[in-house]
Amino acid sequence: IVHAAHSTGVQKLLFLGSSCIYPKHADQPMREDSLLTGVLEETNEPYAIAKIAGIKLCESYNRQYGRDYRSVMPTNLYGPHDNYHPENSHVIPALLRRFHEATLRGDDEVVIWGSGKPMREFLHVDDMAAASIHVMNLDEPTYQANTQPMLSHINVGTGVDCTIRELAETIAKVTEFPGKLAFDSTKPDGTPRKLMDVSRLKALGWQASIGLEDGLRDAYRWFVDHQGEIRG
């Protein structure tokens, strides 16, 4: 896509990466300049390498051909139109569905994988869209003044994280689940913490505006309204 854009004369392009580009043991919060400073998380490595290659491809076209190809790295995204499949969805849609179904059945307990202690950052897709437009609308001198030719990507997140336990408690509130939460510590926790440093984006004049509970309520409304269209 990047090459096709260049070949057909597209001057501006936005490439979306992922927080998994950063090393497994990157300092928290993760700054843009921690890229390529350590070993990647094993299960994400192929995906992360593809995203890193995209960033470097954009930077190379910028340097060699004078293009204006920019890269943003979002944290964990959620919201309407997410994947709510019970077997292969991410943590927020998986828990929204699990708590919703438990509430309908009248269950007295919902089991969550892991200890509940890992910390994660979540960004509503509407905030992500707004941030993407903001970055693309920056004039070129401003963008270049806040980035470097070979370190040009920009983190996009809230700058705030929460434990998986706190996330589950908020989802229980949103779905009006009255029962107990149980944590299965025999299941893996994954990385202890993944928080993005968003100071570069904030310096460029943008920050997230949708709080987690409000965002979860929006995502849940969409799920309830579209259950008939969701497989699984």
- In the set 22, 47, 84, 143, the catalytic residue is 47
Give the amino acid at 30: M
Listed residue (228, 216, 223) closest to 78, CA to CA: 216
Between 91-105 and 212-225, two packed helices, what is the crossing angle to 10 degrees? 60
Angle (nearest 5°) at CA 182 between 223 and 173: 40
61 catalytic, yes or no?
A: no
Residue closest to 72 by CA, chosen among 171, 164, 152:
152
Strand partners for 194: 120
Residues identified as active-site: 47
